[in-house]
């Protein structure tokens, strides 16, 4: 009986190798499945919840892609334009401007900035950019812009307060307590206000305020403060008298306090002394107008009187022998 031999059949070794590979795959699948099961059991939520999270993440990524594509195509801008147009047609359009908090500054400067928003749809008004423009005005310390529907923009202003007058190159300007320049001012309007002079004095306004607080009784009497050489102060009082203070924050405050005490005892302000120099730590120099001239005149008169007395004495001594001889005759 004939037998048929099939070519290409698996040999014994090949069959054994295939069975070994199959066993390895089954073992790996079991290990992988066991590891995944272990991880799933460690998670604080179920497998269904994990599937939902993955689905949400995929949808979020898809939404971001759609938004990027739409932005590149200009669709959001078109949508905003349509929304603004619809709002304007519905009456939500800037027709009125209400300004609050303005007492000293020129209110027209506020309206110049804000009235450019007239007839714009409310959604198109950039209130943040408008506020940035307002705080650039010299008098505006802070500002807030809000929409009052349907047709009003409300502008709340926090004004700066005039504190002193800066005199520079013959011109006068109002400044606030930080040295910020507000606006030019006339001499008439500046009358009665503290006048500051000297290079860089606008940056020393707060330092001057602390100095004057050391002697509150003298503060109202100070008419002018001059910053000398970027290192010390000369104070001019309303009486026209000048006080020269030493360098340094603490030494100048101590000297001013000492002067206030001396004035309280001896009434220096309003007296004959024109200036007080307290730059030396252990003494005060006083300058009295005309005192030097008077002293020189007095010295000259004393010298002349002394010379005259000497001449008279010499003349008397010369006459004495002759007078004695005549008396004897």
**Domains of the chain, start order:** 88-159 (3.10.20.310), 164-287 (3.40.50.11690)
Helix or strand run (H / E) with residue 193? none
Which residues does residue 172 pair with via DSSP β-bridges, in sequence order?
A: 167
Token duo for residue 252? 């100048």
Helix (H, G, I), strand (E, B) or coil at 25: helix
Q: Quote the pTM value.
A: 0.61
Confidence of residue 246 (pLDDT cuts 50, 70, 90): very high
Confidence of residue 323 (pLDDT cuts 50, 70, 90): low
Residue with tokens 């305020």: 209
Distances (CA, A) of 117 to 102, 143, 205, 283: 20, 16, 38, 66
Q: What's the mean pLDDT in 255-284?
A: 93
- The per-residue pLDDT for 30 is 52
Q: Higher confidence at residue 72 or residue 196?
A: 196
Q: What is the spatial distance between Cα 128 and Cα 131, in angstroms, rounded to a whole number?
A: 5
- The per-residue pLDDT for 82 is 46
Q: What is the spatial distance between Cα 215 and Cα 259, in angstroms, rounded to a whole number?
A: 9
How remote is the C-alpha of 170 from its chain's centroid? 26
To the nearest 10 degrees (0 to 180), the angle between helices 205-213 and 249-266 is 40
Whether residue 77 has pLDDT greater than 60: no
- The per-residue pLDDT for 53 is 73
Q: What's the mean pLDDT in 189-217?
A: 95
Whether residue 329 has pLDDT greater than 60: no
Condensed to tens digits (0 to 9), the pLDDT of residues 30-74 reads 554 555 556 555 656 566 676 677 777 877 777 677 667 666 655
Identify the DSSP state of 5.
P
Whether residue 20 has pLDDT greater than 80: no
Condensed to tens digits (0 to 9), the pLDDT of residues 130-160 reads 999 999 999 999 999 988 888 888 999 999 9
> Which of 13-22, 161-170, 181-190, 251-260 comes out lowest in average pLDDT?
13-22
Phi-psi region of 60 (alpha: psi -120 to 50; beta: other; left: phi over 0): alpha
**Cβ distance 93 to 87 under 8 Å?**
yes
Compute the chain's Rg from CA coordinates: 48
- The per-residue pLDDT for 225 is 98
User: Which residues, in sequence order, are CB contacts of 281 under 8 Å at separation 6+?
Assistant: 246, 251
- The per-residue pLDDT for 60 is 77
Q: How many CB atoms lie within 10 A of CB 201?
A: 23
- The per-residue pLDDT for 88 is 43
Confidence of residue 270 (pLDDT cuts 50, 70, 90): very high
**Cβ distance 229 to 279 under 8 Å?**
no
Token duo for residue 110? 């506020």
């Amino acid at each position: 009986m004939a037998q048929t031999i099939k070519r290409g059949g698996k040999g014994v070794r090949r069959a054994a190798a295939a069975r070994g590979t199959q066993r390895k795959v089954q073992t790996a699948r079991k290990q992988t499945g066991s590891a995944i099961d272990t991880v799933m059991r460690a998670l604080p939520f179920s497998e269904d919840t994990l599937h939902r999270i993955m689905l949400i993440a995929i949808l979020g990524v898809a939404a971001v892609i759609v938004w990027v594509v739409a932005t590149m195509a200009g669709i959001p801008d078109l949508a905003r334009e349509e929304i603004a147009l619809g709002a304007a047609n519905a009456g939500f359009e800037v027709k009125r401007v209400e300004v609050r908090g303005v007492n000293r500054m020129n209110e027209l400067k506020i309206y110049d900035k804000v009235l450019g928003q007239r007839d714009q749809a409310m959604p198109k008004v950039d209130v943040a950019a408008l506020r940035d423009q307002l705080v650039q005005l010299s008098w505006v310390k802070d500002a807030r812009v809000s929409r009052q529907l349907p047709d009003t923009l409300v502008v709340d202003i926090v004004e700066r307060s005039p504190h002193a007058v800066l005199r520079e190159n013959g011109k006068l300007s109002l400044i606030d307590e930080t040295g910020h320049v507000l606006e030019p001012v006339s001499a008439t309007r500046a009358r009665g206000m503290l006048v500051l002079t000297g290079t860089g004095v606008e940056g020393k306004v707060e330092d001057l305020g602390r100095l004057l607080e050391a002697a509150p009784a003298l503060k109202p009497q100070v008419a002018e403060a001059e910053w000398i050489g970027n290192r010390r102060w000369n104070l001019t009082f309303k009486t026209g008298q000048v006080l020269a203070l030493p360098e340094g924050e603490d030494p100048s405050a101590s000297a001013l306090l000492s002067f206030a005490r001396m004035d309280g005892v001896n009434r220096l302000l309003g007296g004959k002394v024109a200036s007080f120099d307290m730059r030396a730590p252990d003494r005060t120099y006083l300058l009295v107008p005309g005192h030097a001239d008077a002293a020189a005149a007095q010295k000259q008169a004393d010298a002349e009187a002394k010379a005259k007395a000497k001449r008279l004495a010499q003349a008397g001594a010369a006459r004495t022998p002759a007078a004695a001889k005549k008396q004897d005759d």
